[in-house]
Structure 1
């Protein structure tokens, strides 16, 4: 089997920005069939690397080699759409209706990003771009690029402004619909679930170098830890963080569709003896001591904005130590719900009961609160709040906490006004923690943060004892940082999600199908609910209606769960054996190709079983 054809290659590339060397004698390439995820710290050169590949940045040394007829298209972080253009002009250009309407690929893109072949979600084909929100413009630019279908698709933070459904659709399209001979993908994103779902290779941009790894994010975590261990790196803290994250990946739920696609057994030695990321029992005990039994209770609550009802007759009780993720489509009212819990948005009906000892803090999407200290140094802005705090039962200084969140060395002496957006976001988070809240609300905490910073944030919160609510479209972060998730479905209900984000996506698909058949568009299956909770045991959302399962159906579902779990165990054993064989066949391309195809078939079977597990798990709970 001939090697894949090269589309673009960097040969001894050298790139400088001011006094920083972004690329130092780097040689890497993108070949036919590659789906490469690019990771690294903010400001490390990821976007510059993409610019070099597509030709918008000029090297200071070395060269870029491109196949003569390869076409390239890039989605940047800032769109350049003409405000006067219409949706049709941006997405379809000069294509006649019969040209694009006859292509299933184009129809799928329009349905996934624009609400259908009539661009309903954008206001129709004649709607102009000017008045649209940043999220709508992002979808338009992405749809236009996918319709063009260049050979090399280059995406810089494509999940920005996309909701959970949009991210899931894009991952499915890029990994299973778009791949064709002569095509490749290069993507920069901080969304780790998306990286794992899409990427077959990973590039890490660090200190002027580009380190390459086989596999998605989970495989990258394993390989990076092994590289650090073999090289006996001195940066022990980052290695420990990576091992901790790897341990969490290994212990993921059996139906986690983003779980690692690499040989799990290879990680055993690295994570042996690694404790669970959080000692939930101990944290709840601490939280109860700090908070008492009463935290936040929404009782028979109705929330409206103008004429629109966001929540209707919902009861939701939050106890000490509860950790909830909140998901929902854009505009469903997630941020409004956080404002309701803070007492900043009035209830149309019902009541909000706040515990007497509650000390609440919210990481909002705004950074204006730092304007007052923009002339201060970073460390002064932190110590203004407090010089020491307690996390994980240990006293932590302001300087130490700042260092854990990326403000190392002299950066603590930088002026707040000189910080980047991501650094200001980190400073905002450190100041909140130093104020020692016992209820923490995070509204889209991933904005402007790189993966290393997100990992550090998760590590800090692992030892934080309190009640946590997180609103985010980042599926990985939700599942890593919280213990359970609830959904705002846009129909006045708040729905508990025992099956996590995957269950939410299934509910949304069911609602869309029901609406297409002329139904109400409300949640099907277990039905829409008012969420009620149970204190420190993890207040669950309890159903108040919908379809009940019979005893026979519950028994059958439990049998299905047992059967599927055994089948998954067998597949994992077969995958491990295949990886062993692939390691031994590294110098035999033909045998390696056959083993790779066998692994692909096993992976498809595994994904089907995972979906079956999720469906059965809901019924098995009655």
Structure 2
């Protein structure tokens, strides 16, 4: 195995703070490493030092002979005067890149093919593109090259669900097994699970290494916290809660060989589901009544004449108290328009036909992608900006003060007395959400809420929203977030309809692939009172009964496993008895594995 990169006692000091303190690490051929950590801990600094773009204050970085290194940074580094074609293909002749399958795959996955969908296509000037388009072009320019080591700093920013899925597949297939190296800073936890074989966590000047993807990282971190008797009770409880949710999650996550959940059973044995759905629905109904937001035969058309585009066409959609719905969709399909129309108020889109009916007690707020609304409190301290909205808020049946909520979402005692104008992008995003929660809305709309947030902050926000009794609508490209905080997902495929996704984002990707192949979208699963099949509810109930039956069997087998282990410990010197017990243990383990697979299949049917 070739050695790609090595860091020896690397130290980086920024002002009075030591970001990296004598850090030593290495990266070999075949390594796929994800880098996580709180905002400001030094993740991007670590990448720049390893790429030898920044000299450390101490120590040194070496790379293997003839190692080709390519990197994507958060800031644009391409000439704004270039065309997209020049930025991506450079001096390659047209017949050369057009005939290269890898180049065509990258162009198709990131830029919509040889005829890019943005104005001007491949001949568009790079500097005139939007931030998201420039990001895609920069990533495409990197990925068509043949680098031995690729470093990516937040590559999923500005990518939609399909773009993230394509990037994960591309990176998994980019090099032969055991070849090439990947180092990626990202807050996208699904992406970490899909691509990475190990995790580096940057914190307090050190870099801790964990085997496996994000799920395995949460497991090992929770176990380390238990062994070390960590006193951060809330932090540990949040980890245990997330770990328990991961255990109940999709098979793609828990079936990874690195993520052996058996080792963590003692941590999560008594951990309840992340949300008490019936209790939350009951509280939401008390606050909202039975009517929240209803779209009744709604049609929405934007533009006029030849430029007219129908975003929604005769859509009926009823949203109830306590509903938690994730929304995914293609760019330009009307996700943001839908959110604003549901919110209502001055400037909200008005249906061309049909009507939007809101309950009388609805108090809706939206977490938009624009943090400029904080400019009005820029000169205030963080805690003052929150208390200006309200001093306490009731969450999970308890009164929570502004200071407690700030602490829960990662604001240290020093930070709460910082001026709002001095906050980072991620900190402003957290403050924006905090101020919304303090206003005690009963309908919360989140438009791409994960931007600029680290994985710990996302976990803390999810933990807080678990106790929030209201109706939640989330537009996001973050698959992990959608699965974690939403009970169902819907899709806008650009055909004017809202489609139910019983299979979640995975079903959305299949629908999109079918749409690309046929040129039209599948008519199945369209949301309306007329097309929701009665059998679906019956199938769901049957699947949940099957899950309960299987869980009882698994519990019995787990008890049998414990007894067998105890018997083997007692008879450690009796080889004949050990052999017999071991054979029985293998049978029990095999039966338990088969039941777990059956449980996962039933869980997918249950939704």
TM-score (norm 2): 0.86
Which range is displaced more, 383-392 or 170-179?
170-179
In structure 2, relative to structure 1, the CA distance for the partners of 1:345 and 1:178 (3 Å cut) is farther
Partner of residue 418 from structure 1, selected from 422, 447, 452: 422
CA deviations on 1:140-180 (whole Å, 9 max, x unpaired) are 11111000131110000000000000000001111134446
Partner of 1:269: 266
In structure 2, relative to structure 1, the CA distance for the partners of 1:325 and 1:227 (3 Å cut) is same
Matched, 1:300 2:297: yes
Equivalence map 1:112-511=2 (5 Å): 112-120=109-117, 123-179=120-176, 182-254=179-251, 261-306=258-303, 307-343=308-344, 344-511=348-515
SS in 2 for 1:338: helix
The alpha-carbon deviation at position 125 of structure 1 amounts to 2.7
CA distance in 2, matches of 1:162, 1:317: 29
Whether the aligned pair in 1 keeps the contact of 2:153 and 2:184 (CA below 8 Å) is yes
Partner of 1:596: none
Whether the aligned pair in 2 keeps the contact of 1:122 and 1:136 (CA below 8 Å) is no
Aligned residues: 554
Whether the aligned pair in 1 keeps the contact of 2:114 and 2:122 (CA below 8 Å) is no
SS in 2 for 1:125: helix
The alpha-carbon deviation at position 52 of structure 1 amounts to 0.4
SS in 2 for 1:431: helix
In structure 2, relative to structure 1, the CA distance for the partners of 1:259 and 1:334 (3 Å cut) is farther
CA distance in 2, matches of 1:321, 1:172: 35
Whether the aligned pair in 2 keeps the contact of 1:35 and 1:186 (CA below 8 Å) is yes
TM-score (norm 1): 0.84
Whether the aligned pair in 2 keeps the contact of 1:44 and 1:205 (CA below 8 Å) is yes
Whether the aligned pair in 2 keeps the contact of 1:249 and 1:260 (CA below 8 Å) is no
CA RMSD of aligned residues (A): 3.0
Partner of 1:52: 49
Partner of 1:589: none
The alpha-carbon deviation at position 182 of structure 1 amounts to 4.3
The alpha-carbon deviation at position 117 of structure 1 amounts to 3.3
CA distance in 2, matches of 1:543, 1:267: 43
CA distance in 2, matches of 1:121, 1:384: 43
In structure 2, relative to structure 1, the CA distance for the partners of 1:373 and 1:436 (3 Å cut) is same
CA distance in 1, matches of 2:119, 2:135: 11
Matched, 1:29 2:26: yes
Which range is displaced more, 465-474 or 129-138?
129-138
CA distance in 2, matches of 1:53, 1:62: 11
In structure 2, relative to structure 1, the CA distance for the partners of 1:88 and 1:265 (3 Å cut) is same
Which range is displaced more, 196-205 or 233-242?
233-242
SS in 1 for 2:279: helix
CA distance in 2, matches of 1:256, 1:11: 34
CA deviations on 1:499-546 (whole Å, 9 max, x unpaired) are 00000000000000102xxxxx2225x26x2445xxxxxxxxx6379x
In structure 2, relative to structure 1, the CA distance for the partners of 1:437 and 1:80 (3 Å cut) is same
CA deviations on 1:98-153 (whole Å, 9 max, x unpaired) are 32233322221122112223445574332222321111111111111000131110
Structure 2 spans left out of the alignment, 5+ residues: 566-593
CA deviations on 1:335-388 (whole Å, 9 max, x unpaired) are 111101012111111101110111111111111211111111111111111111
Equivalence map 1:90-109=2 (5 Å): 90-109=87-106
Which range is displaced more, 109-118 or 460-469?
109-118
CA distance in 2, matches of 1:131, 1:483: 40
The alpha-carbon deviation at position 285 of structure 1 amounts to 0.5
CA deviations on 1:59-103 (whole Å, 9 max, x unpaired) are 000110111211111100111222221121111111123322333
In structure 2, relative to structure 1, the CA distance for the partners of 1:461 and 1:258 (3 Å cut) is farther
